[in-house]
Structure formats: structure tokens, C-alpha cells
Structure 1
Amino acid sequence: MSTADTQRALRRRNLSRVLRAVAAAGTVSRAGVAARIGLTRAGVAPLVDELLRVGLLVEAGRAAPSGRGRPGSELAVSDRGPAGIGAEIGVDHLAVCAVDLRGRVRARAAAGAANRHSAPGPVLHRLSALLGQVAAEIADEGLRPAGLTVAVPGLVARGSATVVHAPNLGWRAADLAPGLTAALTGRPDGRAADHAPLPLAVDNEANLGALAELRLGGDAGGPLPPADFVHVSAEVGIGAAVVVDSQLLRGARGFAGELGHVPVYPDGRPCDCGGRGCLEQYAGEAAVLRAGGLTPQQAAAHPGPGARIALLARRAADGDAATVGALHEAGAALGIALAGAVNLLDPRTVVLGGALARLAPWVLPSLERELALRTAVAPAAAEPGGCPVTVSRLGADGPLLGAAHDALRTVFDNPVPSCAPAHSPQG
């Protein structure tokens, strides 16, 4: 790397640090930024000026006097400019939302959709209408898409937009990139109006739910999770994500966290994956509906995002014995599967997200019982070194919010693209 490239990379890193510091603080003075990132006020000043120039920061009023010199002004990230677009493709719904640099949801659209066994093309066509709706709404507020991240209920090849296998959608080796970029920009080449390609990412919904928990859990009224946790979420299937030292553990191919196909009863029910006794056959939505005495026709009468989970919650709250028993069985199966993960990974906590958050009152007792019986260290209630189970306050919104915030990552990583190195470093 040349000296010029090194200097540009250092400046890009420092611009990123300043932008992240202001975003984390809400409002902060220049002196406060300098203290937060360990630079001098003189070193921070030109970085702040650059971020003000490109519209990523704004002056937010006078700072409180510090007792030395003239009071400066408070800084805040702009509520205009780039917005992260998150989308979620579910088995029975589609959703899109946009968040600004302040982390606020500025537009949202959702629709029920029968995506099971539908080819990717028609699904992306339906999604494009929601993307267009959200893009139009944020344009009226002075925002523009900075990128798109899509949450899917399946395995995604690491570093790609290819869904390797999404069994509940019926997709295999589906490259979503061409259709998604065209849907976001309205152009077949996927480029924005300024001809710059918009960043695009596709990820497993459990991974994005975990990232939302890591970044936003405290904003939802609860404490942030620790740096090491296992996040479990459910829609029709069951997924998990492992966070170690505040980073996702993705695995060699990007497939880490496939909890739904961990065998909990090795000689149990056959699974669509080819195995037997998989967790999904006991704790997945279809299994719980079946065990709760609901026929496929009754379940089909409640379409739309979360409708069947809401039905289960209502029946359980009303004391329906079959539904309560089905949820207890699901919790026990989850506890067995999670015991292996806890013994192997030693997380600080297990977080229940997605639909499981709504069903937690009936799932948790049997889950915690199995976890206590099967883990090497007793749960935290009995021993301080144990692994407590907590319930996400983000609930079913986690994957969508995680996707939208992930789409802003490129802005925070490289706030002023002209500061990027001119070429990739050669070893």
C-alpha cells in the first residue's frame, strides 16, 4: 500500500470513528467527540468539518459551557441523507422499512404474501412494490437509500446474495442480487440515480435478529445483551445465531446457527431435510399447530404475518389444554437443543426472539427445566455462573430492524467514499 493509500485509509477510519461517536452519543460537542475517540480537538476539527460538509453531521445548538474558552456547538447525525433499507422475506409475508442515521424508522410497509414454494422471481416482484413505496416515502423527507439488506429464512452463502437452501420457501441456489438491485433502484443495472451501485446484502433472518439485539436491545427498554449470547428466533421454522465477542459466528460457509435441524429425538419424526427427530419437527410452527389440535384448514384461516402465532398465544392464554401442552413440548425440545449449544459455546445468555418472544410464557418453563437438567453448569437462577434465558423486547421486528441497520453499515464504515483507497492493497 502506498503512502497516499495509507493516509486515505487512516482518514477514512477516523471519519468513521467520529460519525459513530456522534451517533452513539445523540448530541455531543467537538471536545466530547475528541475525548470519546482519543484524538485531540485539533485532530477532530477537520474530520467534523468534512462530515458537516457532506451532510452527515449537523450543528444541534450550543454546547453547555465547560468553564474554559467559548462554548462550542453540539453535533448530531443528520436526519436527512442516507437511509438503510431493510427487507424481510417470510413464508407468509413481506416487509420493508427504512431507518435514518439516528436509528429512527422513517417508513415501513408490509403485506401478507403466500411465498411458500413460489419461485424467487414472483416474490421479488411483489417485494419491489413495497420497496418502491418506502423509497418514495423517504424521498419526500430528504432521504435516499444507502443500501439494502434482506432477511431470509434460509442458508445464505457467506459473502454472497445466494440463498443456498430455504426449505420453507422451497428455494435452492437462488441468487437474489439481480432482482433485488433492480427492485430497489428501478433500473436493471441496479445503480442509483448518480450511477453508483447500491450495496446489497442477503442474510439469514436469525443472524439479523441477533445483530438487532446486539445494537438495539437497550433502545427497546431493556439492557443490552452481553457480548456473548445465543439468539433463537422462529417464524415457520427455527433459526439461531451465535454472537461471540460482539461478532456473529458465521462458520466456514456462513451456515452457523442452523438450530432447527439439530436432532433432539434421534429416532423421532422424519424431517424435510432428510434427518429424523429435528427440533423443527417439535418446536416449529406447523408442529405446534398440529400438536395443539389445529387442522391445516383451521391454520390456513389465519394467514398473514404472525397471525397463527397470535392464534396460539390467544388459545394458550384462554387455557386451552392442547395448545398449552403443545407449547410445553416445544419448550422441552428447545431446551434439549439449546443445552448442546450452551455446553459447547458457554454463552452468557440465551435470547428468545421472533415469534418465540410472544410465546415465552408457555415455552420458557419447560425450556429452562431441560436446560437445567442437561447443561454442565446450572442456570443462573441456581448458580451465578449459569446461562439465563431472556426474552427479546424487539420480538418479531428484530430481523427487519437488523436488516435496515445493517444496510447503513457501509455509510458508517466509509462516510466519505472519496477517502477510500484508490485500489485494493496487494500483499
Structure 2
Amino acid sequence: MAQPAPPSQSEMRQRNLSRVLHTLAAEGPLSRAAVAARIGLTRAAVSTLVDELLRGELLVEEGPGRSGAVGRPGSQLRPTDRGPCGFGAEIGVDHLAVCAADLRGEIRVRVEKEIRNRHSDPLAVLTVLRRLARRARAEATGVGLHPVGLAVAVPGLVLRDSCTVLRAPNLGWQHTELLPLLPDDLGPVTVHNEANLGGLAELWSGNTPEATLPEGPGSPGSPDSFVYVSAQIGIGASVVVDGQLLSGTHGFAGELGHVPVRPEGPRCGCGGRGCLETYAGEEAVLRAAGIEPGPGVRMSALTARCEAGEETALRAVRRAGTALGIALSGAVNLLDCRRVVIGGTLTRLAPWLLPPLRRELARRTAVAAGGRDTPVPVTASPLGPDGPLVGAAGLAVRTALDHPAALLAGRPR
């Protein structure tokens, strides 16, 4: 079998430019020496790369930082907060949102609209999204940013490496090609399942609470492995193994919402019975609490009733937590994940949702985290409902950072 050709000098240079950008985006401000130590290159090599990025106005140089080392502290480098930015968009069942993030991953612009998209024509939905994108682009231009890519989060099955939504039950979409309907002036466009983007946002956020993690091979500093649950009107999940998203053969991994928790339960929109969504989806929980879902009816009403100790509301949330624990026990037993993270709108109900979830999960998991008696940690994501949108913008930014030649040329990839 022929061996692949070694990378050319130009390819190595591009790879190293990308490594410098990614390091400073994730950890900056840093000195040249600190960057060199992190990526394993000489300081002279890093200085050459940094000078090129400074000339291309992708980095800015600040004054000297504090240094514990002997000698004069080096000047601090960070990605510019002007210039290239990644756009993220989210198509929700009851809302649309667009945001722009700079090269540091900071959200600089955000526009959104509450709108009922269930069973709406995709053209009508994407027409509104394009209007929001125009507003967001105008605001981004006002703060000195220009787009280099767009990633879109959708609550449904998206064919791998495509913009085709195979099925989005809560939108009522089937075999829908989104690319011709999406903005074409924000750079390259990608479409992804919203739970996958929420999981990536969690991975990149550094939100791992070290106190909750087991000792051993999965200890802090090793690549993270977790199940992220995007619990909104629908329920999706993403699986991260050793720091990498597990997407499956067709890109459909993580369809937790349609795992049956009560085989003879109520009919689900997917055609099955007793799916997790029929017990723990946002609308199911609201109805069980005696709150009829509708435009403008959010989880705040249910949260207020739980805070007031209303038994019907508390019972509905506990039932959802138990159902989540049943569904997640299979994932934990199968994957031996390090932790479970709950994202989405149900994070607002964490004080009442998580205790029954943890109890059910502990009761049903064969081996606790790290082979110890400690149950697998379950936490609510600090990103809450914003995970998919933040992840979309973050993916657009990180994809741009992978292609420094395009950024230096001031053009989309």
C-alpha cells in the first residue's frame, strides 16, 4: 500500500499558522514564548508565523504581561476583535436566531424572532431567517466585522456533509434541501443537527466542573467524553468521545428523543409510541403541568409554578426527569461516558428535574463512572438554551481558523 506523500512546506506553514490562531483564540492573550511552548515549535518559528498574522491584521499585540520567568516579559498576543467573524443561525420550532462571533469566539451580534415554524413552508421560514441575517450582518459591519462562514442549527436529521434535512418531525419537514434557501453572502454554508452543535459548544466552552469528575483515565486534562442532551420542544443528544463528536454513519447519532421509555405510551410525532419526547419534551412537560403551550408561552411560567411549590407542576417535572434517566441509562451503559450534560430550555428546571434524573440513572447504570461507586455526574449546561446557536457560530469561526490562507487573503474559503 502506497504511503501518503509528506506535507509540503506550504502545507506545513498553513497548518502551523492555524495552530497559532487556534491556540490564541482558545487561550490568549499569550506571549510568543507561551505559544511556542504550547504547540511545540521554536520561538523563532512562532515569531515568523506571528509576524505574518500581525501583518494580515488577524492578531493584535498588547503590552507586556506578567511573567513568572526570569527576564523581560513578552508582549501579549490575541486574535483581533475586528475583521473576520463566523455567523451562526438556529431554526427552532418557535423561534429563529442569528448571531456573529469574532475570532475569539465572542458573540458580538445577536438578533432573534419568536415565530411558530411548526408545519410552516421551509421557503417562508428561511425568508424570515434571511431578513434576520441581513440585520445581523449590518450590525456586524458596524462593529468592524465581516463574515467568513455560516453554520445553521436545525432540530432534525441532517445528512452528513450536506445541507439536506432528511426529517425534522417537530417542523414537519421531510427531505428538504436548505442550501438554495439560505443566505449566500456570509461565506460557505453548513447545516447541522442542533444537538450536535450544542454538544460542540459545551466541549469548547471549558465548562467541565472538575469537582464532579471521577479520578482515573478520565481525569481533568484528558480528552472529554460526555452525552449532551438538548432538551427543548424536541429532545436530541450528541455524543462526544475523547474530545471528538460521534456523528454516526449517516450523521444521525444521538436521536435520544425517540428512544421509547414506555413502549405502550402516547403516540409520538415520529410515529412511535412512548418516546422520551412525549414525557420530557417542552410541550409535553407544559401540558402535564396544566399549561397549554402556545405563542409566547415559555418555560418561565412552569418555573414560577415550581418555585411556588405547585404539586402538579412539580410532578410533571419529576416525571420528565425520570423519563430522561431511563433513556440516558442505555446511553451511559453503552458508551461508558464520563458525564451527562443537560442543555436547552429544561435547564431552567434543573433544581427539580435533575434529582429524579440522577436517581433513575444511578439505579439503572451497570457500572458507575470510572469503575467506582460514584454515579455518573449529571449537570445543567451554563449555556442553557443558547448552546446550539453558540455552537453554530463557534463552528463557523473554528472552520475559518483552519484555513489561515483564506483569512489572510480577506476572503471566504
Instruction: Give TM-score, length-normalised by structure 2.
Output: 0.90
1:233 maps to amino acid: S
1:231 to 228, 231, 236: 228
- Give ranges in structure 2 of 5+ residues lacking alignment: 214-219
Of 28, 31, 39, which aligns to 2:30?
Answer: 28
Query: Contact 1:353–1:391 (CA<8 Å) still a contact in 2?
Result: yes
Q: Please give the alpha-carbon distance, in whole angstroms, between the structure 2 residues aligned to 1:128 and 1:393.
A: 29
Provide the rounded CA distance (Å) in 2 between the counterparts of 1:11 and 1:31: 18
Which amino acid counterpart does residue 250 of structure 2 have in structure 1? R
- Cα distance, 1:412 vs structure 2: 1.2
In 2, Cα distance between the equivalents of 1:48 and 1:111?
Answer: 41
Deviation track 1:155-196 (CA, whole Å, cap 9, x = no partner) reads 1111111111110001111111122133xx2xxxxxx6xxxx
The two structures, once aligned, show a CA RMSD in angstroms of 2.6
Q: Which residue of 1 aligns with 2:197?
A: 208
Within a 5 Å distance, the mapping from 1:24-423 to structure 2 comes to 24-63=26-65, 67-68=70-71, 72-182=74-184, 185=185, 198-218=187-207, 227-295=224-292, 299-300=293-294, 303-304=295-296, 307-378=297-368, 383-384=373-374, 386-417=375-406
| Cα offsets for 1:14-62 (capped at 9, x unmatched) | 0011111222232111122111111111211221111111111111123
Gaps of 5+ in 1: 186-191, 193-197, 421-427
Post-superposition offset of 1:350 = 0.5
1-structure distance, mates of 2:351, 2:233:
19
Q: For 1:359 and 1:175, how far apart are their aligned partners in 2?
A: 35
Is the alpha carbon distance of 1:223 and 1:101 closer, same or farther for their aligned partners in structure 2, counting shifts above 3 Å?
A: farther
**Compared with structure 1, are the counterparts of its residues 373 and 62 closer, same or farther at alpha carbon in structure 2 (3 Å cutoff)?**
closer
In the TM superposition, residue 378 of structure 1 has moved relative to its aligned partner by: 4.4
Which aligned runs of 4 or more in structure 1 are off by greater than 6 angstroms? 1-5, 219-226
Aligned-partner Cα distance in 2 for 1:71–1:370: 53
- CA deviation map 1:244-279 (0-9, x unaligned): 011111000000000000011112222221211111
In structure 1, distance between residues paired with 2:44 and 2:320: 59
**What amino acid maps onto 1:214 in structure 2?**
L
CA distance in 1, matches of 2:288, 2:376: 29
- Whether the 8 Å contact between 2:56 and 2:408 is mirrored in structure 1 is no
Matched position secondary structure for 1:107: strand
Q: Distance in 1 between matches of 2:32 and 2:300?
A: 48
Aligned in 2, Cα 1:314/1:27: closer, same or farther, shift over 3 Å?
same
Q: What is the number of equivalent residue pairs in this alignment?
A: 398
In structure 1, C-alpha distance between the alignment counterparts of 2:78 and 2:276, rounded to whole Å: 46
- Cα deviation, residue 287, structure 1: 1.7
Contact 1:11 1:419 in 2 (8 A): no
Q: In the TM superposition, what whole-angstrom CA distance separates every residue of 1:89-146 from its partner, at most 9, and x where no partner exists?
A: 1111111111111222111111111111111111111011111111111111111011
**8 A Cα contact 1:12 1:419, kept in partner:** no
- State the TM-score, normalized to the length of structure 1: 0.87
Which string of whole-angstrom CA distances, capped at 9 and with x for unpartnered residues, describes residues 360-384 of structure 1? Answer: 112112211211221102479x823
Once structures 1 and 2 are overlaid, which stretch shifts more, 231-240 or 254-263?
Answer: 231-240
Whether the aligned pair in 1 keeps the contact of 2:105 and 2:394 (CA below 8 Å) is yes
